[in-house]
Amino acid sequence: MSETKQPGWFGRLFGRKAETPTETPAETPAEVPAESPDPAVTMPTEPTGTLSEGVPDFATGADDVLPAPPTVTDASPETEPEHDLPDELAGADLEPVEGVQPEGLAPAAPEPEADEAPEPEVRESEVRDPGIPAEPDSLVIYQPPAEPEAPAEKRSWWGRLTGGLKRTSSALSDRVTGLFTKRKLDADTLEELEDALIQADFGLETATRIAEAVGKGRYEKGIAPDEVRAILATEVERALDPVAQPLVIDTTKKPFVILMIGVNGAGKTTTIGKLTQKFRAQGHSVMLAAGDTFRAAAIEQLRVWGERTGAPVVARPQGSDAAGLAYDALQAARDAGTDILLIDTAGRLQNKAGLMAELEKVIRVIRKLDAETPHAVLLVLDATVGQNALSQVEIFQKTAGVTGLVMTKLDGTARGGILVALAAKFGLPVHFIGVGEGVDDLEPFAARDFARAIAGLDKG
């Protein structure tokens, strides 16, 4: 390691360079595994997945190009955990969409001087199970600062929900206004309404039901657009009500273990950060396991969230065994008497079989410590992939026993009806929805609010 004075964590996050130009060749970007900022983590405006013969293509986008095998295997994270990537790439996943600064990322206070930068408090764990391939020297637990950042100023959830669902609701609303203004209701109009709903990914079954409900007893009469919206809201609420179930944390489990799964870029890590903020605000202690050991940037990303939300992050260097890490994190959470352990996972393996095998292994290995774990398996789905979400549910459900869904990026699509299609097909609980990148842009899923927002109605 050179003598170079490195900037603090926030300095690196905001791109501040080392104070002395460094000559360490190992830190030049060219020497780092060629991993560019992931296109899958910027928000696609069109569905990024493909639906080929009902099987999701997990290898879309960057997934089909495996980064070079991890080269940082012997670097000790106690001394240089941040140097796996050049500054330009570190935290690349946190890059805002279209230049929007993610909420809460701006430093609230002047940055500490580089030499006063708080170094993470690092604790070593012992090897607890000789059967688990662990690298005891490399396990680190990043402790958050004593006082995590103050949460950003709150906008009402209704405001963020309607803002987030704007693309879907205005696409629908425009069609409804166009179709039902000063027109008699006939079969053609209803068919067009059905088309609009199918385009918003409601699914054929629900689209037909809504169109029928609108037509019922009104043929050859006029119907005002607002009436159509009201019927739409009623039908959507009826479809979603059974799946809108809160995630119940059983406080008798210590820790209550939540495994987060989903394809790369779905929003797992971000959702973990948002959930941590919520759980901490409810008075729970939370620990995070950086189980996406595939990329250094993924570990860093979780570490930033831990720092922001006041949760310790258990990590190992890139390339470590994810199951072993999850095992150690569960042990650490037990030792610390933590209420909730959130385990992040990778979604980026080269093929579906590899991804599923890794998830199965994580579950198998943590069950050696506690046969009831994981207590919840949350599948994170990106709303912008559209119909592909349906096949993702099928496949993850088989492997990991999904207990509930989180749907993210509803703000990034005009096809928010996918939630209705999912409810109709699987009936799995939908616990949370995300409508933005900020820490507050996630809330428990409420069918009525969602239905009214998507139909373009007031809260009511």
Ligand X SMILES: Nc1nc2c(ncn2[C@@H]2O[C@H](COP(=O)(O)OP(=O)(O)O)[C@@H](O)[C@H]2O)c(=O)[nH]1
Which residue in 193, 421, 423, 435 binds ligand X (CB under 6 A)? 435
Least Cβ distance, residue 55 to Mg ion (angstroms): 23
d(CA 244, CA 406): 11
Neighbour count for residue 49 (Cβ, 10 Å): 21
Q: Which of 396, 414, 408, 393 is nearest to 445 (CA)?
A: 408
Residue from 168, 169, 173, 270 in contact with ligand X (CB under 6 A): 270
Residue 43 interacts with ligand X (CB under 6 A): yes or no: yes
The amino acid at residue 141 is I
378 makes contact, choosing from Mg ion, ligand X, none, with CB < 5 to 8 Å by partner type, with none
**The one segment of 82-90, 229-237, 260-268, 393-401 that binds Mg ion by CB under 5 A:** 260-268
Q: Is 278 annotated as a binding residue?
A: no
Q: Between residues 27 and 411, which has the closer beta carbon with respect to ligand X?
A: 411
What is the distance of C-alpha 87 from the center of its chain?
24
Tell me how far CA of residue 443 lies from CA of 32, 246, 271, 437, 447, in angstroms: 38, 10, 10, 12, 12
63 makes contact with ligand X (CB under 6 A):
no
Task: Please identify which residue in 48, 60, 169, 269 interacts with ligand X, judged by CB under 6 A.
Answer: 269
Cβ proximity to ligand X: between 171 and 211 the closer is: 171
47 binds ligand X (CB under 6 A): no
Residue 312, contacted partner among Mg ion, ligand X, none, CB below 5-8 A by kind: none
Binding at 412: pick from Mg ion, ligand X, none (beta carbon under 5-8 Å per type)? ligand X
Under rule CB under 6 A, residue 441 binds ligand X: yes
288 Cβ contact partners less than 8 Å away, ≥ 6 residues apart: 272, 276, 302, 305, 306, 311, 312, 313, 314, 329, 341, 342, 344
Q: Is the Cβ–Cβ distance between 314 and 121 less than 8 Å?
A: no
In the complex, minimum distance from the CB of residue 58 to ligand X, in angstroms, rounded to a whole number: 12
List binders of Mg ion among 286-345 (CB under 5 A): 292, 298
Nearer to ligand X (CB atom), residue 317 or residue 436:
436
What would the x/- binding string for ligand X be over residues 236 to 265, using CB under 6 A? Answer: --------------------------x-xx
Backbone dihedral angles phi then psi of residue 340, each to the nearest 5 degrees: -130, 130
Q: Which residue of 97, 114, 127, 369 would you call a contact of ligand X, by CB under 6 A?
A: 97
Q: Considering beta carbons, is residue 27 or 441 the nearer one to ligand X?
A: 441
Q: Which helix (H) or strand (E) holds 436?
A: none
Whose CA is closest to 380, among 309, 295, 274, 240? 274
The CB-of-264 to Mg ion minimum distance in angstroms stands at 7
Euclidean distance between CA atoms 312 and 300, whole angstroms: 13
* Closest separation in Å from C-beta 411 to ligand X: 5
Spatial separation of the C-alpha atoms in residues 49 and 262, rounded to whole Å: 13
Cis peptide before 255 (omega within 30 of 0): yes
CB of 93 to Mg ion, least distance (A): 7
Closer residue to ligand X (CB): 47 or 347: 347
Six-digit token string for 102: 């993610």
- Cis-peptide, bond into residue 47, ω within 30° of zero: no
Query: For ligand X, which residue of 267, 310, 417, 429 counts as binding (CB under 6 A)?
Result: 267
Query: Which one of ligand X, Mg ion, none interacts with residue 430, CB within 5 to 8 A by kind?
Result: none
Q: Is there a binding annotation on residue 344?
A: yes
The span from the CA of 96 to the CA of 56, in Å, is 27
Site string for ligand X, 107-146 (x = CB under 6 A): ----------------------------------------
Report the distance separating Cα 276 and Cα 338, nearest Å.
12
Residue 409 in marked binding region: yes
User: Which one, 189 or 270, has the nearer CB to ligand X?
Assistant: 270
CA 201 to chain centre: 21
Tell me the longest C-alpha to C-alpha distance in the chain. 82
Q: Are 107 and 14 in contact (CB under 8 A)?
A: yes
Closest residue to ligand X using C-beta atoms: 434
CB 301 within 8 A of CB 295: no
Q: Which CB atom, from 70 or from 118, has the smaller least distance to ligand X? A: 70
Spatial CA neighbour of 120 closest among 306, 344, 321, 301: 306
C-beta of 297 vs 390, nearer to Mg ion:
297
**Separation of alpha carbons 457 and 233, rounded Å:** 8
* Interaction partner, residue 87 (Mg ion, ligand X, none; CB < 5-8 Å by kind): none
| Cα angle 330-336-338, degrees, rounded to a multiple of 5 | 70
Site size for ligand X, by CB under 6 A? 23
- Of positions 269, 276, 277, 373, contacts Mg ion by CB under 5 A: 269
To the nearest 10 degrees (0 to 180), the angle between helices 388-400 and 418-426 is: 40
Interface positions with ligand X (CB under 6 A): 41, 43, 93, 97, 262, 264-270, 347, 380, 408-409, 411-412, 434-437, 441
Q: Which residues are annotated as a binding site for GTP?
A: 262-269, 344-348, 408-411
Residues that bind Mg ion (CB under 5 A): 268-269, 292, 298
Binding residues: 262-269, 344-348, 408-411
